[in-house]
Amino acid sequence: MDTMRDRFVTLTHAALDRDPKVALVLADISVPAFETARSRHPDRVINVGIREQLMLGVAGGLAIEGMRPIAHSYAPFLVERAYEQLKVSLGHQGVGAILASVGASYDWSAGGRTHHAPADVALLDALPGWHVHVPGHPDEVESPFSDALARRESVYLRLSTRQNASSRAIAPGRLHVVRRGRRGTVIAVGPMLDPTLAAIEGLDLTVLYATTARPFDAATLRETMPPAPTVLRSFASHDVALVEPMVEGTSSHVVSAALVDRPHRLLALGVPRVELRRYGTPEDHDRAYGLDARGLAERLTRFFR
Amino acid sequence: MRRRIEYRDLHHSLTRMTGAEKHAPSATSTLDALYVLYDRVLDVAPERVDHPDRDRFVLSKGHGPMAYYAVLAARGFFPSDVLDGFGGFDSPLGHHPDRAHVPGVEVSSGSLGHGLPIAVGIALALRARNHERPNAQSNAAQSSFGRPNENTVAPRTPRVVVMLGDAELDEGSNHEAIAFAARAKLDSLTAIVIDNDSASLGWPGGIATRFEGEGWLARTVDGRDHAALERALVAPGGRPLAVIAKVEPKHG
């Protein structure tokens, strides 16, 4: 089966062939995958070498001239290495780009902390106006990619080797309703859907699947919330759990903002803010962080008890 | 008809911008190079700020933009009365220039080390656009430095000129761009480095050497000599061009 990265490569080739305003800026990552595109469009497939600040400065310059740049690299180098360029070369110029990362969170767990970037979305959250997509399956890459091409704003496409067993009929910008329940709501982001569903087996919960993290679909969350479960409804609390493959609490603020007028309890599960100096497999890290089905089940069951 | 700039008027314009901007040496060090660019070199005009074939200028060293504002006002990009509000809450003229506020400002700047990488992106975009055009000429044939030739039928690749400071070159992002530009054959790109000897650790071997080592054509001139600046800026190069404009030391 294709990976999310494979789909991104195929879609980007097609976009370059179709639209002379699309340009791809690389910093040595994935260069072989784009050799064909580079031979067809040498002016618009640009490898700047291992120079991430330049990659994003170039993306800004291309966007200023009306092009739709796609910058692509490994997540820590794309978002963390040149963070000020995201602020100044894109945001402050009033222009946007598509950033497509691979190596989400701890996809390359054995690569160690330097190659882990669970804070990418939290960092982007400090900048205004970003759209953030976190697909959970290769089949869920195309629609946010097409949506991103049609926009002028900055869009982050977070591609991962972690994925759910099957895709869902997602729509960019919308939470997908997986099922409805009465006890509370769980929001699972991207590849966390399958372990979340395994963890809450037997619990009567609404499950919302988020592949667009920003802007957050507050309307669907509110519409699908089960009634508060007490007689004293105005004092009753809605229970919401958030399960993210990113840093713990990354999306807490948007959920809280969505429910500002409704008393609620929020449990935010994600990658803790620790310097875990371990290697192994992504599954090893899931267990260490309590993000495997068993660890999630313990915490979610306790919360919704 | 190009609106000429009266150089002596620029000094008066500078005095209209008051307040604690803190970068007066930056403003005075760039004045002559900016004057020559806007009076004699760049193909820009206030009535065609969005024209696709205009030249692009990027003030990367956004500190001390008073000289930049004075020159833009003198060329008619905005009324000179606007200078009086410099730095005020309702003024379009901040202590660092903002393209959203000031006509003729191509790139918002302030923090150092961003302008040259962005200028590289602009030059790449303009080259790609020209190659997509019907009847596009070879890039070498399009490279026309200096004032535009009105008899030229095919579109020229606009020049992209970026102004930096010698201390700004401390920022590593510049060196990513310097290394890349010549390899990418960006002969439409010109970097002017205003050298007032303000880099804390200096540039042993000279700034020109840094550019030449990466394949640029580099020229070092007196940054107060208008004729020398013009010659350095308009002569064809066939490679990215660096003009090192030496002015009196900041702490001299």
* Per-domain boundaries in chain B: 7-246
ipTM: 0.95
pLDDT of residue B151: 45
CA distance A213 to chain B (A): 29
- SS3 of residue A129 by DSSP: coil
Per residue in A93-142, pLDDT tens?
A: 999 999 999 999 999 999 999 999 999 999 999 999 999 999 999 999 99
B119 with A61: Cβ contact below 8 A = yes
Give pTM, 2 decimals: 0.94
pLDDT of residue A234: 54
Average pLDDT of A63-89? 98
For chain A, domains (ranges, CATH) are 4-158 (3.40.50.970), 176-304 (3.40.50.920)
Contacts with B123 from chain A: Cβ below 8 Å: 61
pLDDT of residue B132: 81
Q: Comparing A62-66, A190-194, A226-230, B238-242, which segment has the lowest mean pLDDT?
A: A226-230
Q: How far apart are CA A19 and CA A17, in angstroms?
A: 6
As a whole-number percent, the residues of chain A with pLDDT over 70 amount to: 97
Cβ contacts of A146 within 8 Å, gap of 6 or more: A11
CA distance B104 to chain A (A): 13
pLDDT band for position A230 (cuts 50, 70, 90): low
Contacts with A63 from chain B: Cβ below 8 Å: 121
Task: Give B25's Cβ-side CA count (13 Å radius).
Answer: 14
Per residue in A262-284, pLDDT tens?
A: 999 999 999 999 999 999 999 99
Distance from the first to the final alpha carbon of chain B: 41
A54 with B113: Cβ contact below 8 A = no
pLDDT of residue A284: 97
Does residue A215 have a cis peptide bond before it, meaning omega lies within 30 degrees of 0? yes
Per residue in A26-61, pLDDT tens?
A: 999 999 999 999 999 999 999 999 999 999 999 999
| Run means of pLDDT, 10 residues per run, chain B, 252 residues | 86 89 80 97 96 97 93 97 95 96 97 97 96 60 39 71 97 98 97 96 94 97 98 89 94 60
pLDDT of residue B150: 44
Choose the mutation target among B173, B178, B186 for the interface with A, i.e. most A CBs under 10 Å: B173
Q: How far apart are CA A81 and CA A83, in angstroms?
A: 6
Average pLDDT of chain A is: 96
Strands (E), chain A: 22-26, 45-47, 68-74, 98-102, 131-133, 155-158, 176-179, 184-189, 205-210, 212-214, 238-247, 264-271
pLDDT of residue A163: 98
Cβ contacts of B184 within 8 Å, gap of 6 or more: A46, B120, B124
CA distance B200 to chain A (A): 23
A53 with B172: Cβ contact below 8 A = yes
| Helix, strand, coil share of chain B (percent; to 5) | 40, 10, 50
For residue A70, the one-letter residue type is I
Nearest CA in chain A to B119: A61
Q: How far apart are CA B157 and CA B76, in angstroms?
A: 25
Question: Pick from B199, B208, B202, B215: which is nearest to B243 by CA?
Answer: B208
| Topology adopted by domain B7-246 | Rossmann fold (3.40.50)
Cβ contacts of A6 within 8 Å, gap of 6 or more: A138
Contacts with B126 from chain A: Cβ below 8 Å: 65
CA distance B107 to chain A (A): 7
C-alpha separations of A74 from A81, A162, A256 in Å: 10, 15, 31
pLDDT of residue B236: 73
B128 with A67: Cβ contact below 8 A = yes
C-beta of residue A162 within 8 angstroms of C-beta of residue A191: yes
A43 with B172: Cβ contact below 8 A = no
Closest partner residue to A60 (CB to CB) among B100, B121, B123 is B121
Average pLDDT of A191-211? 97
H or E element in which residue B246 lies: strand B241-246
Closest partner residue to B118 (CB to CB) among A43, A61, A94 is A61
Cβ contacts of B151 within 8 Å, gap of 6 or more: none
Instruction: Provide DSSP, A193-262.
Output: HHHHHHHTTT--EEEEEESEEES--HHHHHHHPPPPSSSSGGG--EEEEEEEEEETTTTHHHHHHHTTTS
Closest partner residue to B120 (CB to CB) among A49, A57, A88 is A57
